[in-house]
Amino acid sequence: MQTNRLGYFESIRGVAAVLVMLRHFRSAFYPYASFGNFPTFESIPHSPVENFLSETSLGLMASFNFAFPLFFVLSGFVLSFKLIGKRDVRSRILGSTSKRPVRLVGMVWFSMILAYGLQRLGWYFNDEIASLTTSVPWFQYYWTGRVPSITVFLIDLFFRPFSRGGLYNQPLWMMSVELSGSILTFAYLFLVGDRRWRLAILLPSIVFFWVTGTYHVGFALGILCGEIAKFVSERGIKIHWTVPVILLALGWIVGSYPLVSSMEVHSQTIFAILPYIDFFQGYHVLGGAMILLAAILSPTLQARLNGDWFRSLGHVSYSIFTLHFIVLGSFSSFLYYMLYPRMGHHGAAWISIGLSIPLILLLAKYAARYVDDNVSRLADWIGQRGERFFAFIATRASTWKSVRQLEE
């Protein structure tokens, strides 16, 4: 197991970003496949395929519901793995904490500015096409109502980007969880990361986050994956290939637990074996953790994910995640709106999807190059300076303590 090569985790992040993008396109153009006949939705199937996707076990396993929570699990793992069990790394932890908001905010700002600009210009067409695709009320909900004033937008942009970004760009709802979960991860590492009894804190934390129904359980499970990876690596334990295969299969099934479905449909699928819980998103988080653990324990899967194409996808994953929904609400919806009278639903939908995805990938490539990469370098610089500053403070405090002891 090559735990020293964490590149394949960026590849997993890239795959997760693409799955989130595909799910949003499906929910916009083929909403019955995502929402079925759930009472609060007005979705109507455009073909028998949508019935299959929303009402059968195999179809529901193509929902990719685990993709969103997988980001949290990945963050918990990547932020903690190199620091777990290490002594004298508190300055490094504080430096990493100081750079985290900067690392995240670059693409948040860029996407908020782009999203708000399009809204001011009236270039979103999701409301116009929602009744045609029957993605009501889901796709109809966004960018409707009064456009925020410039003053309100600037306040949100500079003072509340993580908590208010989702009002301008739907996927940004998760950034407040991402930031707070990252800080909790660093707090855990700072306080008990080098203690042998740290699992006595981590395991109850997992239970607590699960019971309280918060996505922060994903970060805790990511840390646990790091603990398992460290244990297996340090002891040179050989994992039989069937173990990651089983984990991957179970993770995919558990992580595909339906977001919305009637009890009748639920009882007729494989998901009926899972007990119903109010925090059903917990199954998505658990499935994501199992998929990540499968990658950790499988050198074969790691080798595939370390390929150039997957690594390139991982490099633009954050850009894909933050930009795709803006394109979906503007360019994709406009194209569908113009083509629908001439080509009908399927023709308009598939041409819109087929032209939008390459556009998203192209925009993501240049956003990653000119925005995200530069912000990442700035964040690294801040982290390095922060680490040196906190190391200096720690050294001075230790010196002062020694002098006081000698004086006494």
Residue 139 lies in a domain: yes
Contact between residue 89 and residue 391 where contact means Cβ atoms under 8 Å apart:
no
The 10s digit of each residue's pLDDT in 137-178 is: 999 999 988 899 999 999 999 999 999 999 999 999 999 999
**397 CB neighbour count, 10 Å cutoff:** 10
> pLDDT tens digit string along 196-232?
999 999 999 999 999 999 999 999 999 999 999 999 9
**Alpha carbon distance 8, 257 (integer Å):** 26
Q: Which of 129-138, 252-261, 310-319, 352-361 has the lowest mean pLDDT?
A: 252-261
Report the candidate in 368, 364, 366 with the shortest Cα–Cα distance to residue 377.
Answer: 368
Q: What confidence score (pLDDT) does residue 1 get? A: 43
Specify the pLDDT at position 401: 64
Say how far residue 21 (Cα) sits from the centre of its chain: 11
How far apart (Å, rounded) are the C-alpha atoms in residues 52 and 369?
A: 40
Residue 338 is assigned to a structural domain of this protein: no
Inter-CA distances, 237 with 1, 22, 82, 199, 221, Å: 9, 37, 19, 20, 21
> Quick one: tokens of 201?
């804190």
Q: How many CA atoms lie within 13 A of 138 on its CB side?
A: 25
Which residue segment(s) compose the domain that 131 sits in?
Answer: 7-316
Report the largest interatomic distance among the alpha carbons of the chain, rounded to a whole angstrom.
90
The answer as to whether 71 is a domain residue is yes
Count of the separate structural domains present in the chain: 1
Q: Let me know if 268 is exposed, middle or buried by CB neighbors in 10 A (0-12, 13-18, 19+).
A: middle
What b/e readout covers 176-196, taking b as 16+ CB neighbours within 10 angstroms? bbbbbbbebbbebbbeebbee
Q: Is the pLDDT of residue 51 over 70?
A: yes
In the chain, % of residues over pLDDT 70: 94
353 lies in a domain? no
- Contact residues for 103 (Cβ-Cβ < 8 A; gap 6+): 375, 376, 379
Count of Cβ atoms closer than 10 Å to residue 21 Cβ: 25
Q: Taking the CA of residue 206 as centre, how many other CA atoms within 13 Å lie in the half-sphere pointing to its CB?
A: 18
- Residue 350 in domain: no
pLDDT digits (tens, 9 = 90+) for 117-128: 999 999 999 999
Give me the chain's average pLDDT, please: 90
The set of long-range contacts for 367-370, using a CB threshold of 8 Å and a minimum separation of 24, is: 367/107, 367/110, 367/316, 367/319, 367/322, 367/323, 368/315, 368/316, 368/318, 368/319
Does residue 135 form part of some domain? yes
365, part of any domain? no
Contact present, 152 and 167 (Cβ < 8 Å): no
Is 0.85 surpassed by the pTM of this model?
Answer: yes
> Other C-beta atoms within 10 Å of 343: how many?
14
pLDDT band at 266 (very low <50, low <70, confident <90, very high): low
Q: Which amino acid is at 243?
A: V
Higher pLDDT, residue 96 or 60: 96
Task: For residue 323, tell me if it sits in a domain.
Answer: no
Q: State the burial class of residue 318 (Cβ atoms within 10 Å of its Cβ: 0-12, 13-18, 19+).
A: buried
